[in-house]
Amino acid sequence: MRSIPHLLLAAALTLAASACEKTEKLDTGPVTVKGSAAGSAGATHGSGSGSAATPTPPPAPAPDIDSKDILARTATSPEVDVKHVLIGWKDLGAAYRGHLDPRAAKRTADEAAALAKEVADKLKAAPDSIDALIKQYSEDPGGSSGDPYTIDADSQMVPPFKNLSLRLQMKEVGIVKSPFGYHVIERVAAKPLDPLESADILARPANPGEVSVQHVLIGWKDVPAASRGLDPRAKDRTKAEADKIAQEVLAKLKGGADMTALMKQYSEDPGSKDDGKAYDVSKRAQLVDSFKKLSLRLAPGEAGMVISPFGWHIIRRMPPDSLESTAVLERPQATEKAKVKHILLGWTDVHASDPRGTKRTRAELEKLVKDTVAKLDKGAPIEPLMKELSEDPGSAASGEGYDVSPSAQLVEPFKLLSLRLKVGETGVVKTQFGIHIIKRVE
């Protein structure tokens, strides 16, 4: 599976450079996560024109004005909603990859600390003024929508921001410093749901694992993310018109309409509208909060509606594929470490670009999977079958096995099945790359 990258949600669902974004590098490539402007990797430094330039001394440490009394608390909330004002200064340019707010570019660290304390004092005196203070002072390009950030222990925020947020009481204000500046943070009430959102589904506990979903995105001209570019159909659409279309799509979906066809007809998500692509969603997925919340509460095959800064999302959780080993997938995890070998098979609708998969019909796939599993169950070695059939270029010819653990950089369904198989047992699971016939060998 090292040759098959774990796919991320397309730009239509990712929050661009928000006040708490950092860039991490995993084995699967660079991953932008919700957490402050963009990480230091890739920052450009001027080379200077002189041959004997004097080295620039490191900047003086920024004043420590963190709310230590709040950070010292041992009790944390499981989930909070917060808003914040971000105040930067000129020595932070590398953290922003050269895109530091012009106001911060002229400010020293001492001036930033003084301004952050001033904003905090104003907010403590008038806790309901947070939106006005954000508009006046904040340099977080992702916080202008007015929506709060929902924070829990798994949120992909820079640690100082998350640590303070989870210790705040309702309407309490605190300050913390991160590589992106001073954050003046207030805990606020969750944003009220729109009357059309699927409140009954959102009230459920979240599924603990990963789910696969498809969605239709419907925007309108005043949606908060309009500055990032709207689909031409949404540019003149009112919220009321978007409401009507979203309800129509959901009704069609509940009436049995094909989701992929509805995506092609209605969706404005450039990452999935044309091919019906499904997204894998977990608690740690890099997705806007409302999209993730609804996805993780849907039952298999169920659909619902939720609003994000990009518009309406009509989301349907994918039902299990008829070929999957559902009985195995429903078991508790059997091990923390397994070695598995697998055969990847695609078909015309889902494949990893292997010519065999692109030409294979669903009926042909079903027969091939059943025949192959039968051979393995009768004791046939998997390596010759991998060489003959598998479309995974990383292991087909070599018969290589993969080490699987909960933290392994593998697509989640592959990992979930592998860790539930008994040694010597074979199972089947579907991912966005096709059908995997997996045998646990250790």
The CATH number of residue 170's host domain is 3.10.50.40
Sheet (strand 173-178) strand order: 149-152, 79-87, 181-188, 173-178
Residues 257 and 313 in one domain: yes
Domain for residue 54, yes or no? Answer: no
Contact 216, 267 (CB under 8 A): yes
Domain for residue 11, yes or no? Answer: no
Burial of 196 (0-12, 13-18, 19+ CB in 10 A): middle
pLDDT of residue 144: 61
In the predicted model, residues of the chain with pLDDT beneath 70 are: 1-59, 94, 142-146, 227
Residues 310 and 354 in one domain: no
Question: Structural domain tally of the chain?
Answer: 3
Domain endpoint, select from 124, 153, 188: 188
Task: Give the distance between the most distant pair of CA atoms in the chain.
Answer: 75
Residues 398 and 432 in one domain: yes
**Each residue of 143-174: pLDDT tens digit?**
666 678 889 888 878 999 999 999 999 999 99
Contact 413, 326 (CB under 8 A): no
Report the alpha-carbon distance of residue 143 to residue 83 in Å, rounded: 8
Domain endpoint, select from 135, 161, 188: 188
User: If DSSP states are collapsed to H, E and C, what string results for 385-436?
Assistant: HHHHHCCCCCCCCCCCCEEECCCCCCCHHHHHHHCCCCCCCEEEEEECCEEE
Report the alpha-carbon distance of residue 62 to residue 84 in Å, rounded: 19
Report the alpha-carbon distance of residue 38 to residue 19 in Å, rounded: 9
**Each residue of 257-272: pLDDT tens digit?**
999 999 999 999 998 9
Residues 26 and 133 in one domain: yes
Domain for residue 417, yes or no? Answer: yes
Burial of 40 (0-12, 13-18, 19+ CB in 10 A): middle
Q: State both tokens at 399.
A: 């018969």
Q: Domain range holding 412?
A: 326-440
Residues 385 and 425 in one domain: yes
Residues 415 and 357 in one domain: yes
Domain for residue 379, yes or no? Answer: yes
Domain for residue 4, yes or no? Answer: no
Domain for residue 266, yes or no? Answer: yes
The DSSP call for residue 231 is -
The DSSP call for residue 70 is H
Residues 297 and 253 in one domain: yes
Report the chain's C-alpha Rg in angstroms.
25
Residues 98 and 173 in one domain: yes
Domain endpoint, select from 134, 162, 188: 188
Residues 416 and 284 in one domain: no
Report the alpha-carbon distance of residue 430 to residue 437 in Å, rounded: 9
Residues 143 and 227 in one domain: no
Helix, strand or coil, per DSSP, at residue 82: strand
Identify the bridge partners of residue 315 per DSSP, sorted by sequence position.
Answer: 215, 304
Helix, strand or coil, per DSSP, at residue 64: coil
**Which amino acid does the sequence have at 439?**
K
Burial of 283 (0-12, 13-18, 19+ CB in 10 A): middle
Minimal CA–CA distance to 34: which of 166, 171, 161, 139?
161
**Which amino acid does the sequence have at 427?**
G
Please tell me whether the overall predicted TM-score, pTM, comes out greater than 0.95 for this model.
no
Residues 176 and 209 in one domain: no
Burial of 398 (0-12, 13-18, 19+ CB in 10 A): exposed
pLDDT of residue 58: 59
CB atoms within 10 A of CB 382: 22
Domain for residue 352, yes or no? Answer: yes
pLDDT of residue 143: 63
Domain for residue 377, yes or no? Answer: yes
Contact 329, 420 (CB under 8 A): yes
Residues 307 and 354 in one domain: no
Cα distance from N-terminal residue to C-terminal residue, the chain? 17
Contact 80, 127 (CB under 8 A): no
